[in-house]
A = this chain, B = another copy of it.
Amino acid sequence: MIKRIAVLTTGGDAPGMNPAIRAVVRCGVANKLEVMGVFRGWWGLINGDLKLLDHRSVSGIISQGGTVLKTARCPEFKTEEGQERAFNTVKKFAIDGLVVIGGNGSFSAAHKFGSKYNVPCIGIAASIDNDINGIDYTIGADTAINTGLCAIDNIRDTATSMERIFVVEVMGRDCGFIALAVALAGGCEDVFIPERPVDLEASCHDIVHGNLIGKVSWIIVVAEGAGKANDIAKKITEITSLETRAITLGHIQRGGRPTALSRDLALNLGKAAVEALMRGEKDKALGFSAGKIVSVDFETAIKKKELNVENILKLIKTLT
């Protein structure tokens, strides 16, 4: 029977990490576990930067973006020595299991570390990119989409008033999920995603044709993995001779008050992670699919996620 667990957040921060921490701590305590919070992800495990958290330690964080445990890149954790030191911390503090809140990179590291040293690790899928294989919805994706949508709604005011073409770059290095959701909900005229080749000629043809029949404002969403907003805007101007504006939302999408959905996912997954460790499970990521909590082997979770993009691309085109 386990007695003490630790929780850490790694990779890029996502809105909802704080509610997830809250649920891990409070559900852990409610189950008579001791819960330690590790600071700055793997770095804190390597350097022994962790402390015991109680029910009160996580008061008031449910509505805050970011992560109170902080997060950091940690190249050292890829080395033998770094892992050894992290394992020493696990032994020294008698940690029986780890809850790893993060994305692909985090799960990959947890998989190697957990397998090598036989430390039970349970992942909680938190990533604004929503790029975890086998999981429909990660913590933070809904918030990032709504933040992006709010920006699009603002830009629409100017696009309509000034009759301009806007190219808006949103998050998504390998995955077009955010771009598709934002483009659909924002009534955007076009979208470029990493899953499909960018066909600028076709888009420019649509723009020129649209112009002829009186459609003079356009918002084109581009996932960062499909191109840079600046480059695409320039090329559209070259091809069409029409004025364009480029906007890169960037880190604005990463923060902010988590939405209800991001919080509710986080709280349910935090509870599930504690219970999974108590049942002796390990090497798995938890997330939502088809409306309920699912667990996916780390090895599966970190594979490339295939998104069925045809239908949604078609719908976006039909609706504009």
Question: Which A residues are within 8 Å of any B CB, using their own CB?
Answer: 9, 12-13, 15, 17, 19, 22-23, 26-27, 30, 40, 60, 62-67, 70-72, 136, 142, 145-147, 149, 151, 153-158, 160-163, 166, 181-182, 184-187, 245-257, 259-261, 263-264, 267-268, 271, 289-292, 315, 318-319
Contacts and interface: CB of A to CB of B under 8 A. Distances in A.
11 contacts: A9-B161, A22-B319, A27-B319, A71-B161, A136-B291, A145-B260, A154-B253, A157-B255, A185-B260, A185-B264, A267-B319
A53 B175 CA distance: 36
Nearest to A289: B291
A102 to B, nearest CB: 12
A116 to B, nearest CB: 27
Nearest to A188: B62
Contacts of A248: 247-248
Contacts of A166: 251
A15 B264 contact: no
Given A146-B260, A260-B146, A264-B185, A27 B318 contact: yes
A162 B184 CA distance: 27
Contacts of A71: 161-162
A181 B291 contact: no
Nearest to A145: B260
Contacts of A145: 260
A155 B251 contact: yes
A246 B251 CA distance: 9
A156 B263 CA distance: 16
B264 A62 contact: no
B256 A252 contact: no
A158 B256 CA distance: 9
A271 B315 contact: yes
A15 B259 contact: no
A247 B251 contact: yes
A195 B182 CA distance: 36
Contact of A163 (B70, B155, B250, B251): B70
Given A256-B154, A260-B146, A319-B22, A60 B162 contact: no
A42 B234 CA distance: 28
Contacts of A187: 22, 62-63
Given A154-B147, A184-B264, A247 B255 contact: no
A253 B100 CA distance: 36
A260 B154 contact: no
Contacts of A250: 245-247
A253 B154 CA distance: 8
B255 A154 contact: yes
Contact of A155 (B26, B181, B255, B318): B255
B252 A151 contact: yes
A241 to B, nearest CB: 15
A317 B26 CA distance: 10
